[in-house]
Homo-oligomer: A and B are copies of this chain.
């Protein structure tokens, strides 16, 4: 990583902390400058505005989520195993980066058209990933035939709502919802209880 990339990452890490604590509107670029230990000039060199920092954070987090999903998918052969493994790794990631999840799923919601379009695009991207796994599962026989697009959208919506509720409530361990959520989602695509692997393969 070049020095410039390191600085960019340090600024983003600082921004994640500040946004998660203060919210978008209350955060000033100066807070991020202070938190990152960089100079004002350096922050503005990388990001011309608060909005650009925020958008870069959203992109960083969704790229990370996508990478984790693709890693989990690669480990499994069948469509069903790929979906199951993706579900587990995405909940793990949200748990690990709760502050980032709050920024992407909660804070970004209140911020007008630009962000809303970004969110639509993100939802569509993850819907496409899930849909491709469902289609693979249908063709390899691990999942019975179904309308994959509707099921994929419904999964994205269901996961969104569960994670948002976890962020707001601030109470439960997100991982605790996994067994019930997993049963729910796998059943929804017609996978019988017996077919659902009993022990998660990766921790």
Please report A residues at the B interface, Cβ cutoff 8 Å: 106, 109-113, 115-116, 120, 123, 146-147, 150-151, 153-162, 165, 168, 177, 180-181, 183-185, 187-190
- Residues in B with CB closer than 8 Å to A157 are 157-162
Q: Which secondary structure dominates where chain A touches chain B?
A: helix
Q: Is the CB of A116 within 8 A of B109?
A: yes
How many Å lie between the Cα of A106 and that of B116 in the bound state?
9
Closest B residue to A152 by beta carbon equals B161
How many Å lie between the Cα of A156 and that of B156 in the bound state?
12
How many Å lie between the Cα of A154 and that of B147 in the bound state?
18
Q: Other than A106-B116, A153-B158, A158-B161, give 20 A-B pairs with Cβ distance below 8 A.
A: A109-B109, A109-B110, A110-B115, A110-B116, A150-B180, A150-B181, A151-B180, A151-B184, A153-B161, A153-B162, A153-B165, A154-B162, A155-B158, A157-B159, A157-B161, A184-B188, A184-B189, A187-B187, A187-B189, A188-B188
